[in-house]
Structure 1
Amino acid sequence: MSLFLESLQLDTASGTPLFRQLYAAVKHAILTGVLPAGMQLPPSREFCHRLSISRQTVLNAYELLLAEGYLSGTVGRGTFVSVDLPDASDAPDRIAITGKRGVALTNNTRQGTPALSKRGRQFVDRASLAPVHQEKTRAFRVSMPGLDVFPFDVWARLEARRWRHHEDRLGYGDPAGYGRLRELLAVYLKNARGVNCNPEQIIITSGSQQALYLLSTVLLDPEDAAWVESPGYRGAIATLQAAQANVCHVPVDHDGLNVDYGALHYPDARLVYVTPSHQLPLGMTMSLQRRLALLAWAKQGSAWVIEDDYDSEYRYSGAPIASLQSLDKNDCVIYVGTMSKVLFPGLRLGYMVLPPALVAPVTHAKAIIDRHTAIVPQMVLADFIAEGYFGRHIKRTRKLYSQRQAALLDSIQTQLSDDLSCGASDGGLDLAVHFKMQHSEQAVVNAGLAAGLELRPLSYFLSPDAKEVSSAFSRGLLLGFSSLTEQEIYKSCLVLRDVLRSQR
């Protein structure tokens, strides 16, 4: 006990109350065996004298430890470490492992102690496939809309109006989503994307990522094969791998997903994930011939097709391309969309349009996983759409992002043409650029970070498991432009020029 008291130190400058610090120190000593079961603790006055703290501080700590069962007896008659606690020597050894983003994970090292399930380990192992941005936005962050042009004043007014009449806002809602929002989305998707659906086929999700997780879980058994584009969206790969699917990497070319390759190498796949309107990250549009070939293959093999239409609102040459779902005559395409790109990511609202046969099972799965997506943001979004703000915002940002993309294309032509060539530029919030010289992607990314740029290498989207490299793929970067003003784009391109020159 004397050694414990000599080693005990309390930090008077800490924001944690002293009795809480003392409580935590004694508790830790008991759990680790430094203070064994049955040992009598010193009188409170001895603690006061040794630590130069008030008696009330010690009494408060003792009271909390007594209440939680770590100590027994009564203050004044003697206080003892509880004999009902298990021997600390029987406690499992634990090793702290620092994971991505500094999250502390623990693995048991003794045989017979609890451990993660195989599926649980899939989530931990795939954490790096779904990184989260927490720092301030910098050039050229990908898939980030221009928050400088969002009408937050309008949104705040609509939300305040909803909260003033909150009687029916505070209970549980429909797992499928707010009915009025689903009605409005059905009309919008029909007019803007040619999606054939009624409101009952739409399920509102907490972002499109939740939609992908629900679909991976409901539609696939462990080891079922699923096609993904290569290169492609890592968030989709992460959800499929977490569902213990056999992820099959199918290359893309200038016409999009190579259906013939997938059919030849992975003929028994149960699911296909595809971004046909604007392939992520290379930007091409899937040709009509490929779309029809994919639907024919899916029909023959009774496979599901997930169409991720993540940023199709932003097409800068010609009218928006009709959705793959609009061509589906066999109810095999599931259309997934998000509000993160057209409004703002923090809203966390997505949706999926399901074939009729999937509505009930996916709705039940949604209810189990999430009960329902937050209802007030759905109501505000419904008002935002119904009162015309949504359509005006899309029209305004489509024009603005087109100008910002033009500024990026011009900057590349005038400042970076020796180092970079541009990929498809029909639409989207990002532009794929390819190295003309033998640059190391990682070296460029590191140098860019030191210069204040956030650069995403194209190889980030290429899985090491892919057996064949896409004919449309070459080393380069994916540059986000939609969150930057034209002036910021020109200045950032000058910085990028210096970075590339330093890496030649």
Structure 2
Amino acid sequence: MSLHMTVDVARNAGESLTSQIQRFIKREIADGVLHPGTRLPSSRRLADDLDVSRSVVVEAYEQLVAEGYLEAATGSGTRVVGRPGHRRAAGPALLDEGPGGRRATAPVQWDLRTGGDNVPDFPRREWLLCYQRVLGPGGARARAWNGYPPPAGEAVLRAELAGYLGRVRGVRTRAERVLVVSGFAQALALLCTALARTEGVRELALEDPGHPGQRRFVEEAGVRAVPVPVDEEGLDVDALAASGVRAVLVTPGHQFPTGAVLSARRRDALARWARERDGWVIEDDYGSGLWYDRGTAPPALQRLLPERVLYAGTVSKTLSPALRLGWLAAPERLFGPLLRARERQDLGSDAFSQLALAELLGSGLFDRHLRRLRERARERRAALDEAVRRHLPGARVLGPATGLHAYVRLSRYVSEERLVAEALRSSVLVRGGSAYRFGTGRPEAPAVVVGHAHLPRDGVAEAVRVLGAAARVARRVPRG
């Protein structure tokens, strides 16, 4: 049997070996077994596997290349193209779902949406260096090579995270209270499970406006999502208290999507609510380390009330969402239930990536990367502020300069829905503020949510210029 590709050939058949190889590969392509882009073994390797002359395989490959089934390029080998005339599957789509789930129908030059694509360049060199250090000679950790990772996470990473979060965000925790998770989605699933089973929590208050994906996720987990309004001081704690719930998910450091920072008055009120209500606060510090405004960033809310705040963060905004690495700093009362929920769910996060992240944190390379990232984001935010002043009269960017996106409140005379549609016709894809609202009936000024840090500076200015032109078309005539 072939070690590199299963090819059936018979020497006593009335068909040449070359023809048999050609026919087999054509059939595998037609049946969808060999996909476009698949690299085939070299002619020498396949000839050795089949115990035939190399010239037999070379002739078969050359004929399939001539017929359009394969392509050969120096340095990249021989790859499947597909059936002649068959189009390859497209790469990552530029045209994703717009507001309300509608698909974009125009070509897109500037994509201003938040999310996975709104992340600047990954520090490839530093990450590879850390991988080499932990897996290379003298740096490998034997247990990581031989078994499953601990469900709570690698001890060295938990220790590094406890130290880093304390130093940078003022989080009061210990390594034994840090749980490594596969991104915030898993953290939220574990929290919904643990709070329901041990605390009887069946409702979770969410900020309005807020992340629509989190809202759907919570509801699909069997927990009722309760909207609580947000203003320029952050979460309305009085409205939270009136809702009667015992748990709330907040983004106090940089409210998503409005950019508001929870005021000191509201922080104290939220801590007081949690103590008096026997309540729980889930702090999603998704933009930790990305503060580049004047002054210092406010510390984590968890610092005020570590026995009642479940602190969550990830590397999705600072490194890449592809890594699927995050953490939960939990009080003792809930750490055990969270760990048991994790053990029932899977067998832990990738140990090698955990060790590489620990090295990145401990070596100072992560701090260096964050400095570069903050500088880039600061430049893009400055370009955004200037472009909004120039091209969007009556609009303003809310919140301090932090994170990878900004909330731009538009003139009340602009139709948000029409602006979004007009911008798309001019190759700019952006989401309006209404896409993030529960729909609690409160009147809201029109707005757009702009992911800016991933764009070139001139791209930020050009995209906002297009938004300005779209706003002129979308302007409503004031009544009276």
Q: What TM-score do you get using the length of structure 2 for normalisation?
A: 0.72
| Aligned-pair CA distance for 1:343 | 1.1
Q: Among the aligned pairs, what percent are the same residue?
A: 31
**For the Cα contact (< 8 Å) 1:250–1:257, is it kept in 2?**
yes
Match of 1:182, as an amino acid? R
Aligned length: 377
Instruction: Answer yes or no: is 1:205 the counterpart of 2:181.
Output: yes
Q: 1:332 aligns with which of 295, 308, 313?
A: 308
Match of 2:469, as an amino acid? D
CA distance in 1, matches of 2:178, 2:450: 32
**For the Cα contact (< 8 Å) 2:209–2:230, is it kept in 1?**
yes
Judged with a 3 Å threshold, the aligned counterparts in structure 2 of structure 1 residues 411 and 172 are, in CA distance, closer, same or farther, namely same
| Aligned-pair CA distance for 1:352 | 0.8
Q: State which drifts further: 364-373 or 163-172.
A: 163-172
- Partner residue, 1:159: 131
Judged with a 3 Å threshold, the aligned counterparts in structure 2 of structure 1 residues 17 and 484 are, in CA distance, closer, same or farther, namely closer
- Partner residue, 2:300: 323
- Partner residue, 2:89: none
Unpaired runs of 5+ residues, structure 2, are 1-22, 33-91, 93-99, 476-480
| Aligned-pair CA distance for 1:449 | 2.9
CA distance in 2, matches of 1:181, 1:349: 11
Instruction: Answer yes or no: is 1:361 the counterpart of 2:337.
Output: yes
Match of 2:463, as an amino acid? S
- Partner residue, 2:266: 290
CA distance in 2, matches of 1:189, 1:359: 17
Deviations 1:378-408 (A, max 9, x none): 1111111111110111122112211110011
**For the Cα contact (< 8 Å) 1:150–1:393, is it kept in 2?**
no
Structure 1 SS opposite 2:228: strand
**For the Cα contact (< 8 Å) 2:397–2:408, is it kept in 1?**
yes
Residues 424-443 of structure 1 aligned to structure 2 (within 5 Å): 424-443=399-418
**For the Cα contact (< 8 Å) 2:209–2:436, is it kept in 1?**
yes
Deviations 1:316-357 (A, max 9, x none): 12111111110006x111001111111112111111100011
CA distance in 1, matches of 2:205, 2:119: 34
Instruction: Answer yes or no: is 1:232 the counterpart of 2:210.
Output: yes
Match of 2:312, as an amino acid? V
CA distance in 2, matches of 1:500, 1:396: 34
CA distance in 1, matches of 2:29, 2:463: 50
- Partner residue, 2:167: 191
**For the Cα contact (< 8 Å) 2:170–2:299, is it kept in 1?**
yes
Deviations 1:411-469 (A, max 9, x none): 11112225x322123322111112214433333323333332220111111013x3x52
Instruction: Answer yes or no: is 1:241 the counterpart of 2:219.
Output: yes
Structure 2 SS opposite 1:307: strand
- Partner residue, 1:139: 111
**For the Cα contact (< 8 Å) 1:139–1:481, is it kept in 2?**
no
Judged with a 3 Å threshold, the aligned counterparts in structure 2 of structure 1 residues 163 and 412 are, in CA distance, closer, same or farther, namely same
CA distance in 1, matches of 2:192, 2:279: 13
- Partner residue, 2:64: none
| Aligned-pair CA distance for 1:143 | 4.7
Judged with a 3 Å threshold, the aligned counterparts in structure 2 of structure 1 residues 458 and 147 are, in CA distance, closer, same or farther, namely closer
Q: 1:413 aligns with which of 369, 389, 401?
A: 389
Q: What TM-score do you get using the length of structure 1 for normalisation?
A: 0.69
Match of 1:320, as an amino acid? A
Structure 2 SS opposite 1:439: coil
| Aligned-pair CA distance for 1:14 | 10
Structure 1 SS opposite 2:428: coil
| Aligned-pair CA distance for 1:188 | 0.8
Instruction: Answer yes or no: is 1:423 the counterpart of 2:394.
Output: no
Unpaired runs of 5+ residues, structure 1, are 1-11, 22-100, 102-127
Instruction: Answer yes or no: is 1:469 the counterpart of 2:445.
Output: no
CA RMSD of aligned residues (A): 2.9
CA distance in 1, matches of 2:468, 2:30: 57
Structure 1 SS opposite 2:165: helix
Q: 2:229 aligns with which of 251, 269, 282?
A: 251
| Aligned-pair CA distance for 1:15 | 5.8
Q: Which has the larger radius of gyration?
A: 1
Q: State which drifts further: 450-459 or 148-157.
A: 148-157
Q: State which drifts further: 448-457 or 249-258.
A: 448-457
Judged with a 3 Å threshold, the aligned counterparts in structure 2 of structure 1 residues 478 and 168 are, in CA distance, closer, same or farther, namely same
CA distance in 2, matches of 1:215, 1:379: 25
Match of 1:441, as an amino acid? E
CA distance in 2, matches of 1:284, 1:148: 23
Q: 1:172 aligns with which of 148, 160, 167?
A: 148
CA distance in 2, matches of 1:414, 1:243: 45
